[in-house]
Amino acid sequence: MTVKSKHVRIKGIKDGLVFLLDDKCPFEDLLSELRFKLEHSHQNILTGPIVHVDVKLGSRPVSEEEKDAVLDILRGQGNLLIRSVEALEDPSVVDSDALYMVSGMVRSGQVLHHQGNLLLLGDVNPGGTVTCSGDIYILGALRGMAHAGVEGNEEAIIAASLLSPTQLRIADIISRPPDEWETRESSMEFAYLTNGAMQIDKIHNMVKLRQGLNVFKGV
Protein backbone atom coordinates (compact mmCIF):
# COMPACT_ATOMS: atom_id res chain seq x y z
CA MET A 1 0.00 0.00 0.00
CA THR A 2 1.29 3.45 -0.91
CA VAL A 3 -0.02 6.69 0.57
CA LYS A 4 1.10 9.91 -1.02
CA SER A 5 2.54 12.13 1.70
CA LYS A 6 0.72 15.41 1.28
CA HIS A 7 -1.73 15.77 4.16
CA VAL A 8 0.56 15.21 7.17
CA ARG A 9 3.82 17.04 7.86
CA ILE A 10 5.97 16.24 10.89
CA LYS A 11 8.35 18.99 11.97
CA GLY A 12 11.06 18.60 14.58
CA ILE A 13 11.46 21.41 17.10
CA LYS A 14 13.85 21.93 20.01
CA ASP A 15 11.76 20.07 22.59
CA GLY A 16 9.58 17.74 20.53
CA LEU A 17 7.57 17.39 17.34
CA VAL A 18 4.85 19.39 15.61
CA PHE A 19 2.27 17.52 13.53
CA LEU A 20 0.91 19.87 10.85
CA LEU A 21 -2.32 18.39 9.49
CA ASP A 22 -3.96 19.56 6.26
CA ASP A 23 -7.25 21.37 6.90
CA LYS A 24 -8.58 21.06 3.33
CA CYS A 25 -8.54 17.32 2.60
CA PRO A 26 -11.32 14.87 3.57
CA PHE A 27 -10.98 13.98 7.23
CA GLU A 28 -10.81 10.22 6.58
CA ASP A 29 -7.90 10.78 4.16
CA LEU A 30 -6.11 12.72 6.88
CA LEU A 31 -6.55 9.89 9.38
CA SER A 32 -5.38 7.29 6.86
CA GLU A 33 -2.18 9.15 6.05
CA LEU A 34 -1.44 9.89 9.70
CA ARG A 35 -1.86 6.22 10.57
CA PHE A 36 0.28 5.13 7.62
CA LYS A 37 3.13 7.52 8.41
CA LEU A 38 3.33 6.43 12.03
CA GLU A 39 3.15 2.73 11.18
CA HIS A 40 5.48 2.66 8.17
CA SER A 41 7.56 5.70 7.32
CA HIS A 42 8.44 7.31 10.65
CA GLN A 43 9.34 4.37 12.85
CA ASN A 44 12.63 6.06 13.80
CA ILE A 45 10.84 8.63 15.98
CA LEU A 46 8.75 6.01 17.75
CA THR A 47 11.49 3.83 19.19
CA GLY A 48 13.23 6.30 21.52
CA PRO A 49 12.34 8.12 24.76
CA ILE A 50 9.17 10.14 25.39
CA VAL A 51 8.58 12.78 22.70
CA HIS A 52 6.31 15.79 23.32
CA VAL A 53 3.91 16.46 20.45
CA ASP A 54 2.01 19.60 19.40
CA VAL A 55 -0.86 18.98 16.98
CA LYS A 56 -2.03 21.71 14.59
CA LEU A 57 -5.28 21.03 12.72
CA GLY A 58 -5.34 24.42 10.98
CA SER A 59 -8.64 26.12 10.22
CA ARG A 60 -10.63 22.87 10.00
CA PRO A 61 -13.61 22.95 12.42
CA VAL A 62 -13.52 19.66 14.34
CA SER A 63 -15.81 17.97 16.83
CA GLU A 64 -14.54 16.31 19.98
CA GLU A 65 -15.03 12.92 18.29
CA GLU A 66 -12.88 13.95 15.32
CA LYS A 67 -10.18 15.38 17.56
CA ASP A 68 -10.19 12.19 19.62
CA ALA A 69 -9.79 10.14 16.42
CA VAL A 70 -6.56 12.01 15.65
CA LEU A 71 -5.30 11.78 19.23
CA ASP A 72 -6.11 8.07 19.50
CA ILE A 73 -3.78 7.36 16.57
CA LEU A 74 -1.00 9.37 18.20
CA ARG A 75 -1.59 7.86 21.64
CA GLY A 76 -1.28 4.41 20.09
CA GLN A 77 2.45 5.10 19.85
CA GLY A 78 3.82 4.51 23.32
CA ASN A 79 6.41 7.27 23.40
CA LEU A 80 4.33 10.20 22.06
CA LEU A 81 2.99 12.55 24.77
CA ILE A 82 0.42 15.04 23.47
CA ARG A 83 1.29 18.49 24.77
CA SER A 84 -1.16 20.72 22.89
CA VAL A 85 -3.83 20.65 20.19
CA GLU A 86 -4.71 23.67 18.06
CA ALA A 87 -8.00 23.41 16.18
CA LEU A 88 -11.25 25.20 15.47
CA GLU A 89 -13.87 23.35 17.46
CA ASP A 90 -17.51 22.89 16.61
CA PRO A 91 -19.23 25.30 19.06
CA SER A 92 -22.28 23.02 19.25
CA VAL A 93 -20.27 20.27 20.94
CA VAL A 94 -17.62 22.12 22.95
CA ASP A 95 -17.88 21.59 26.71
CA SER A 96 -15.92 24.21 28.63
CA ASP A 97 -15.95 21.97 31.73
CA ALA A 98 -14.49 18.93 29.92
CA LEU A 99 -11.24 17.44 31.19
CA TYR A 100 -8.47 16.45 28.78
CA MET A 101 -6.56 13.51 30.28
CA VAL A 102 -2.85 12.86 29.81
CA SER A 103 -0.78 10.15 31.50
CA GLY A 104 2.96 10.29 32.00
CA MET A 105 5.68 12.10 33.90
CA VAL A 106 6.72 15.70 33.23
CA ARG A 107 10.46 15.72 33.76
CA SER A 108 12.88 18.58 34.34
CA GLY A 109 13.03 20.86 31.31
CA GLN A 110 9.74 19.59 29.84
CA VAL A 111 6.63 21.74 29.37
CA LEU A 112 3.10 20.32 29.10
CA HIS A 113 0.49 22.80 27.81
CA HIS A 114 -3.22 22.43 27.08
CA GLN A 115 -6.08 24.71 26.02
CA GLY A 116 -8.91 23.93 28.44
CA ASN A 117 -8.97 21.84 31.62
CA LEU A 118 -6.21 19.28 32.11
CA LEU A 119 -6.05 16.06 34.13
CA LEU A 120 -2.52 14.67 34.42
CA LEU A 121 -2.10 11.10 35.67
CA GLY A 122 1.49 11.28 36.83
CA ASP A 123 4.08 13.43 38.55
CA VAL A 124 5.59 16.80 37.70
CA ASN A 125 9.25 16.68 38.69
CA PRO A 126 11.30 19.70 39.83
CA GLY A 127 12.12 21.72 36.71
CA GLY A 128 9.00 20.43 34.90
CA THR A 129 6.17 22.80 33.95
CA VAL A 130 2.44 22.40 33.34
CA THR A 131 0.43 25.27 31.86
CA CYS A 132 -3.25 25.38 31.02
CA SER A 133 -5.91 27.90 30.04
CA GLY A 134 -8.34 26.24 32.47
CA ASP A 135 -7.98 24.12 35.61
CA ILE A 136 -5.07 21.78 36.33
CA TYR A 137 -5.67 18.50 38.19
CA ILE A 138 -2.66 16.29 38.93
CA LEU A 139 -3.16 12.78 40.27
CA GLY A 140 0.40 12.60 41.44
CA ALA A 141 3.04 14.84 42.95
CA LEU A 142 3.45 18.43 41.79
CA ARG A 143 7.07 19.28 42.54
CA GLY A 144 7.63 21.56 39.56
CA MET A 145 5.81 24.66 38.31
CA ALA A 146 2.09 24.89 37.43
CA HIS A 147 0.28 27.81 35.77
CA ALA A 148 -3.52 27.62 35.41
CA GLY A 149 -5.71 30.22 33.72
CA VAL A 150 -2.84 31.34 31.49
CA GLU A 151 -5.16 33.56 29.42
CA GLY A 152 -6.31 35.50 32.47
CA ASN A 153 -8.92 33.18 34.01
CA GLU A 154 -8.75 34.05 37.73
CA GLU A 155 -11.33 31.36 38.56
CA ALA A 156 -8.99 28.55 37.49
CA ILE A 157 -7.56 26.22 40.13
CA ILE A 158 -4.55 23.96 40.57
CA ALA A 159 -5.05 20.66 42.41
CA ALA A 160 -2.58 17.87 43.14
CA SER A 161 -2.38 14.71 45.22
CA LEU A 162 0.85 16.09 46.68
CA LEU A 163 1.23 19.86 46.43
CA SER A 164 4.94 20.61 46.75
CA PRO A 165 5.66 22.99 43.85
CA THR A 166 8.56 25.25 43.03
CA GLN A 167 5.98 27.83 41.92
CA LEU A 168 2.23 28.16 41.48
CA ARG A 169 0.59 30.69 39.18
CA ILE A 170 -3.07 31.40 38.46
CA ALA A 171 -3.77 34.02 35.77
CA ASP A 172 -1.21 36.75 36.60
CA ILE A 173 -0.90 35.95 40.31
CA ILE A 174 2.32 34.18 41.31
CA SER A 175 2.85 32.39 44.59
CA ARG A 176 6.30 31.26 45.64
CA PRO A 177 5.57 28.50 48.14
CA PRO A 178 6.84 28.68 51.73
CA ASP A 179 9.53 26.46 53.21
CA GLU A 180 6.83 24.33 54.86
CA TRP A 181 5.70 22.77 51.58
CA GLU A 182 7.69 19.58 52.19
CA THR A 183 6.16 19.14 55.66
CA ARG A 184 2.53 19.64 54.63
CA GLU A 185 -0.06 16.97 55.32
CA SER A 186 -0.07 14.35 52.58
CA SER A 187 -3.57 14.84 51.17
CA MET A 188 -4.95 16.29 47.95
CA GLU A 189 -5.15 20.08 48.02
CA PHE A 190 -5.92 22.84 45.57
CA ALA A 191 -4.85 26.44 45.02
CA TYR A 192 -7.27 29.20 44.06
CA LEU A 193 -7.51 32.99 44.03
CA THR A 194 -9.60 35.12 46.37
CA ASN A 195 -9.38 38.90 46.42
CA GLY A 196 -6.26 38.75 44.27
CA ALA A 197 -4.35 36.45 46.64
CA MET A 198 -3.60 32.75 46.33
CA GLN A 199 -5.09 30.39 48.91
CA ILE A 200 -4.62 26.66 49.59
CA ASP A 201 -7.40 24.36 50.78
CA LYS A 202 -8.39 20.70 50.98
CA ILE A 203 -9.81 19.30 47.76
CA HIS A 204 -13.21 18.49 49.31
CA ASN A 205 -13.81 22.22 49.82
CA MET A 206 -13.54 22.90 46.08
CA VAL A 207 -17.26 22.21 45.59
CA LYS A 208 -18.14 24.92 48.14
CA LEU A 209 -15.85 27.36 46.36
CA ARG A 210 -17.36 26.69 42.93
CA GLN A 211 -20.90 26.91 44.30
CA GLY A 212 -20.04 30.25 45.86
CA LEU A 213 -18.75 31.55 42.54
CA ASN A 214 -21.96 30.50 40.80
CA VAL A 215 -24.11 32.25 43.40
CA PHE A 216 -21.99 35.39 43.03
CA LYS A 217 -22.56 35.32 39.28
CA GLY A 218 -26.27 34.76 39.69
CA VAL A 219 -26.13 31.33 38.03
Count the domains in the chain. Answer: 2
Q: What is the pLDDT of residues 47-74, one digit of tens each?
A: 667 788 888 888 777 787 888 899 888 8
User: Dihedral of CA 115/96/192/170: which sign?
Assistant: positive
Judge if 126 and 171 occupy the same domain: yes
C-alpha to C-alpha distance for 81 and 219, rounded to whole angstroms:
37
The candidate with the shortest Cα–Cα distance to 149, out of 162, 164, 130, is 130
Domain final residue, candidates 94, 113, 145: 94
pTM: 0.56
| Domain boundary pick from 48, 63, 94 | 94
Residue 149 has pLDDT above 90, yes or no: yes
Q: Output the pLDDT for position 94.
A: 45
* Average pLDDT score over residue span 86-90: 64
Structural domain boundaries enclosing 59 = 1-94
Integer angstrom CA distances of residue 12 from 9, 54, 66, 79, 87: 10, 10, 24, 15, 20
Largest CA distance in the chain: 61
Same domain? For 23 and 113 the reply is: no
Q: Cα torsion at 162, 163, 169, 173 (round to 10°)? A: 150
71 and 178 belong to one structural domain: no
